[in-house]
Amino acid sequence: MTILRLAIPSPLRRLFDYHPPAGIETDQLTVGVRVRVPFGRRELIGILVELPSESDFDSSKLKSATEILDSTPPLPLHLLKLARWAASYYQHPEGDALQQALPVLLRKGHPCEYQHEFLWKASEEASLSQLKANASRQKELLQLLIEHPSGISTDAIKAEGGQISALSILEEKGLAESFQRQHKQSSQEALHEAGLTLNAEQKSCLEQVNQSPGFAIHLLEGITGSGKTEVYLQAIEKVLLEGKQALLLVPEIGLTPQTVSRFRQRFNMPVVALHSNMSDRQRLDAWLQAREGVARIIIGTRSAIFTPLHKPGIIIIDEEHDPSFKQQDGFRYSARDLAVMRARDEKTPILLGSATPSLETLHNAIEGRYHWSKLTQRAGNSAPPEFRLLDIRQEKLQDGLSGLLINEIKEHLESGTQVLIFLNRRGFAPTLTCHDCGWIADCTRCDAHMTLHQRPPHLHCHHCDKQSGIPHHCPECNSDQLQPVGVGTERSEQALQQLFPKFPVIRVDRDSTQRKNAMHEIMTQVHTGEPCILVGTQMLAKGHHFPKVTLVAIINADAGLFSADFRGMERTAQLILQVAGRAGRADHPGKVWMQTYHADHPTLQTLIEHGYSAFAQEELHHRKISQLPPFSHYALLRAETPHKGRAEAFLGALRQQLEEDMLLPHDVSWIGPFPSPMEKRAGMHRAQLMIYAQNRKSLHQLLANLCWYLEQNREARKVRWSIDVDPTDTF
């Protein structure tokens, strides 16, 4: 007897046993295939993970599966194993984790078959004279085929205005024929354009990567504009010449059409993108092309880490410190950390690139676990920017801008260059207040203020998305003296436009770029090189090159300096340097001005006077003293309920219970429970318990026990709980 043991998408942390469907022989079953099964009153699709010969349950009570969907598993075995490992490491139900490793259409049961691309061409003897004079459509189509002797796809025919329906008529007449596209494998043709001549630092990094034939981890630490991408391109070139594929992961905000087109421009080989803005069908196609080996370069965001490759050659993680590589809900995996595991399984090199590496990665490099290359010079001729901390303690600000800064902006614009103003708050103002009684527009569902927006006018909670109209009178005292507090991008845009009416002011934030093509239009305008002011959020900080920007102004460099999160300082430093990196990229030297109330803050001083490495060293020192990651491992147990105080009480009781019932591994400690930094969010009251250990094994042993315990626990059903392993955000 054979039992199908399946991972099924359900919140239960267990596998489910079924009998094979009637008429299916054991030798037709392979681990990894999708299986359709009855589940409660529904039908679900599970993944076959084991084929035991008997069940732990009464086998006469087991149901039979309905259908086996695949003859070969969609995910190759080693990726299935990786996803299963990740489910157990991140304490997530296996069925759901495995689903997330597949494209949406495969989760829904769509066939997992690569559609070969067919091309059409005219037959050898075909000529227009063989068609009747009045068959104009057929003639046009045949003409099109004759103009494309190496073949043209149906999509391209449509794009050229050709009639697809006429193809079969031409084929019947022996005038046209179709054939399968042959993908270029020959090595001479890998490049469209030659690579740049590398400088000494780039060369030594590339040699380092190329030297290691099998698995090796490389950190490429290079300041913005130092030519990291050029190193990626040339490392990929070698891989392509060996007939292999490259997987490049980039941050969510970084996957712009410019990124993809830079790779398409260089390589004469299929490049596919995988990101959330594609349709499910497009994603499946790209995924299948990668699995089939047709796509040679795969550029994707976090979830692309599970994309199967026919011949894996290298994995590259750009901006490896970026928080978007860690999923923040549900299956809370880190794509960067999984990428390292994957590269080890596939015996390929992995390259982690960043101007501001995460302290975890730096620590690994310092300890000698990673090869470490540095690019310290900007490529080409551009000089590094000059930093200045602008003490605004005594200053009267005009819409958030100091007089000195306004003068500086003016100078740059008048000398014909561009200015970038960075402000990490969208909307008009962070909130609205009553001048008479001090009332503040707070969100009723969160411990947060409502943001005032003017285009269109409304109040908006950026945490739960609640929206409401702007009151004309104070709800407390009925006064009409309601005033915006603080500055957001909309207000800054308005103020700058009034100060500099002759120059365009372009706002770049989530609101201003929602329209399709909006970002493209903005970039086109900026690239004309005409003087202008760019005002925007983090969206401006990543991936884009602004060669004509000579002044970057950070309106509030202090945000994050005193954060409750121990990573606050690291994040602030990374963001500042990332924004600063936009300045003076081409032959225009750049200036970075930072407004601050803490100009003598030692960390800010270290950062701008001695750079990121010096900052990181100090920060690592503090982490070591406090035994914080990377010097310890930790997880957060979070709980939330609609009732105030209940989440904290639940965690408190749990902790007590566990200490009485369970033998805590001696090196595991707890801190908390304490209320989350934002205690109420979207109507839920939240608390957390921090669990940490010197030793990963002890931590994971405890977490596994904890999950088991919570699943049995009645009280736990009254709260919503989750475990976040290696959390990067305290919520």
Those residues whose C-beta lies under 8 Å from the C-beta of residue 375, and which sit 6 or more positions away, are 201, 202, 205, 220, 221, 222, 223, 226, 227, 228, 231
Examine residue 322 and tell whether it contacts ligand ADP (CB under 6 A).
Answer: no
Residue 204 as a binder of ligand ADP (CB under 6 A): the answer is no
**Given candidates 446, 519, 555, 608, which one binds Zn ion under the rule CB under 5 A?**
446
463 vs 507 by CB, closer to Zn ion: 463
Residue 477 touches which member of Zn ion, ligand ADP, none, C-beta under 5-8 Å by kind: Zn ion
Rule CB under 5 A: say whether 477 interacts with Zn ion: yes
Q: Which of 213, 380, 589, 642 binds ligand ADP (CB under 6 A)?
A: 380
Comparison of 221 and 509: residue with beta carbon closer to ligand ADP: 221
d(C-alpha 61, C-alpha 228), whole Å = 59
Q: Given the rule CB under 5 A, which of 224-232, 283-291, 418-426, 476-484 is the region that contacts Zn ion? A: 476-484
The answer to whether 342 contacts Zn ion (rule: CB under 5 A) is no
Q: Which does 202 bind (CB under 5 to 8 A by kind): Zn ion, ligand ADP, none?
A: ligand ADP
- The letter for the amino acid at 199 is N
String of contacts with ligand ADP for each residue 163-202, x by CB under 6 A: ---------------------------------xxxx--x
Q: Exposure pattern of 244-278 as b/e (b: 16+ CB <10 Å)?
A: bbbbbbbbebbbbeebbebbbebbebbbbbbbeee
Smallest distance from Zn ion to CB 669, Å: 34
The option from Zn ion, ligand ADP, none interacting with 437 (CB < 5 to 8 A, set by class) reads Zn ion
Among the listed residues 274, 243, 283, 252, the one whose alpha carbon sits nearest the alpha carbon of residue 105: 283
Binding partner at 222 among ligand ADP, Zn ion, none, C-beta below 5 to 8 Å by kind: ligand ADP
Q: How far apart are the first and last CA of the chain?
A: 49
| Site for ligand ADP contains 222 (CB under 6 A) | yes
- What are the CA-CA distances from residue 231 to residues 68, 236, 274, 365, 625 (Å)? 45, 8, 22, 19, 36
* Choice from 386, 436, 558, 667 touching Zn ion (CB under 5 A): 436
> Is residue 208 at the binding interface for ligand ADP, with CB under 6 A as the rule?
no
Helices (H) and strands (E) counted in the chain, each on its own, are 19, 30
Distance CA 419, CA 554 (A): 11
Which of 91, 138, 208, 224 is in the footprint of ligand ADP by CB under 6 A? 224
b/e map 373-403, b = 16+ CB within 10 Å: bbbebbbeebebbebebbebeeeeeebbbbe
Q: Does 437 bind Zn ion (CB under 5 A)?
A: yes
Window contacting Zn ion (CB under 5 A); options: 71-79, 260-268, 446-454, 689-697? 446-454
CB atoms within 10 A of CB 293: 18
- Which partner, Zn ion, ligand ADP, none, binds residue 400 by CB below 5 to 8 Å per kind? none
Class of residue 347 by CB neighbours under 10 A (exposed 0-12, middle 13-18, buried 19+)? exposed
- The number of residues that bind Zn ion (CB under 5 A) is 15
Residue 113 or 465: the one with the smaller Cβ distance to Zn ion is 465
List Cα–Cα distances, 699 to 81, 440, 666, 693, in angstroms: 21, 43, 10, 6
Task: Confirm or reject binding of residue 251 to ligand ADP (CB under 6 A).
Answer: no
Choice between 43 and 476, CB closer to Zn ion = 476
- Is 383 among the residues that bind ligand ADP (CB under 6 A)? no
Q: Minimum Å distance from CB 680 to Zn ion? A: 9
Q: Return the closest-CA partner of residue 272 out of 261, 73, 281.
A: 261
Q: Collect all residues with Cβ–Cβ distance below 8 Å to 155 and sequence separation of at least 6.
A: none
Closest to 155 in 3D by CA, of 60, 285, 65: 285
Q: Does 577 bind ligand ADP (CB under 6 A)?
A: no
**Residue 456: is the preceding peptide bond cis (ω within 30°)?**
yes
Residues 450-469 that bind Zn ion (CB under 5 A): 461, 463-464, 466
Closest to ligand ADP by CB, 88 vs 199, is 199
Burial label, 525 (beta-carbon count in 10 A; 0-12, 13-18, 19+): middle
* CB nearer to ligand ADP: pick between 538 and 701: 538
User: Alpha-carbon distance 552 to 574, whole Å?
Assistant: 15
By a kind-dependent CB cut-off of 5 to 8 A, residue 461 interacts, out of ligand ADP, Zn ion, none, with: Zn ion
Output the smallest distance, CB 313 to ligand ADP, in A.
20
- The strand pair at 533-536 and 549-554 is best described as unpaired
- The residues binding ligand ADP (CB under 6 A) are 196-199, 202, 222, 224-230, 379-380
Using CB under 5 A, list all residues that contact Zn ion. Answer: 434, 436-437, 439, 443, 445-446, 461, 463-464, 466, 474, 476-477, 479
